[in-house]
Amino acid sequence: MSALNAMGLGLARLGLAALGGLPLPLLHRLAAGLAGWSRRVGSREARVARVNLAVCFPELDEDARERRLREVLWHTACTVLECARIWTRPPVRSLDWVVEVEGMEHLEAARAGGRGVIVAAPHLGNWELFGHFLAACGPLTIVYRRPQWAPAESILLQGRGGAGVEQLPAQPSSVRGMLRALAQGRLLGILPDQQPKLGEGVFAPFLGRPALTMTLLSRLAARSGAAVVFGFARRLPASRGFAVHFLPAPDGIDADDPVLAAAALNAGIEACLARAPAQYQWTYKRFSRPPPGLTNPYLPPRPPPAPPPDPGS
């Protein structure tokens, strides 16, 4: 690691440790300031979220969409600041934030007989906190995508780790490890709404628009016979903490037809999203790889072509 990266990593750790000592209500007040700044300056997050809201909620008028945007940016900032505690303190400290659990029977039924379970955890609420909750439920294997800034990987691995937690990078060579984890009766946590590379997914409807969708989760379910449940940690009003939710997977999520399976996967994500629409990660470019016939909605509109020259001039 270069000296510059080492210095940046050290400063990042110090900043996270300092923020991690703050109480949840104060973190949320700081988030309000960050969200307001993000909206005023037209940050990348604000621009992407505005596009996503227009694409996915065309029925909302402009005022309603702007209100939703303010909520989205606040929840986004909350997630970032909350992770300072989640990544730098023992998991039991973060689990104190979980004050409600709904649908636990779905996870328990899926685990009956010691079977492995695939837990699809969309980017909703605070998925890092949800990961700690899953780890408290039994041996857990999680699949993660390596960050763009390589030194940050050590922060993520440490923050998401703990007793009984195995972490596998999202790459083809890890599939064998995922199947092994399920055969051993472990929970396998996967973030199901990240856009795969072209050729590694199929297009399936998501909130009314075709979206390139992963096939990995459905293929794992079909090959292993493991049950699938959905789950997330929803932020409660007035900084009261979080409610953890588990939902059953839609029928067909392990279908042989990859498009049908992907459609079921996206339907499961939509069912979670409906519980807390403003807490979804709308700052992610979910539709940046469109199918033929559709344009990338995040690109600026092309200027109209110049008129042909006037032959009489």
Which tens digit of pLDDT belongs to each residue from 93-116? 899 999 999 999 999 999 998 889
Q: Which of 113, 262, 246, 116 is nearest to 178 (CA)?
A: 116
**pLDDT at residue 170, rounded to an integer:** 83
Quick one: pLDDT at residue 225? Answer: 95
Angle of helix 175-183 relative to helix 216-224, nearest 10 degrees, comes to 40
Which H or E run includes 141? strand 140-144
Cα dihedral 21, 127, 207, 51, rounded to 10, equals 40
Residue 206 counted as domain residue: yes
Residue 127 near residue 233, CB atoms below 8 Å: yes
* Structural domain total, the chain: 1
Closest listed residue to residue 46, CA positions, set 38, 58, 57: 38
The pLDDT of residue 250 is above 80: yes
More confident residue, 173 or 264: 264
d(CA 238, CA 27): 12
234 within domain boundaries:
yes
288 is a domain residue: no
For every residue of 224-240, DSSP letters joined together read: H--EEEEEEEEEPGGG-
Pairing of strands 98-102, 140-144: unpaired
pTM value? 0.91
Asked if residue 306 belongs to a domain, the reply is: no
DSSP-based three-state secondary structure for 186: coil
CA distance 189 to 191: 7
In a domain, 232, yes or no: yes
Residue 298 lies inside a defined structural domain of this protein: no
Ranges 67-81, 145-159, 189-203: which has the least confidence: 145-159
In this structure, is residue 63 part of a structural domain?
Answer: yes
Q: Which domain holds residue 247?
A: 12-279
Higher pLDDT, 163 or 47: 47
CB 266 within 8 A of CB 196: no
Of all residues in the chain, the percent with pLDDT exceeding 90 is 74
Distance of alpha carbon 45 from alpha carbon 33, whole angstroms:
15
Q: In 153-260, at which residue ranges do the beta strands (DSSP E only) sit?
A: 165-169, 187-190, 201-206, 209-214, 227-235, 242-248
For the chain, percent of residues with pLDDT exceeding 70: 90
Q: What is the pLDDT of residues 5-26, one digit of tens each?
A: 555 656 767 777 778 889 999 9
41 assigned to some structural domain: yes
Nearest to 194 by CA among 172, 216, 174, 178: 216
Widest pairwise Cα distance in the chain: 85
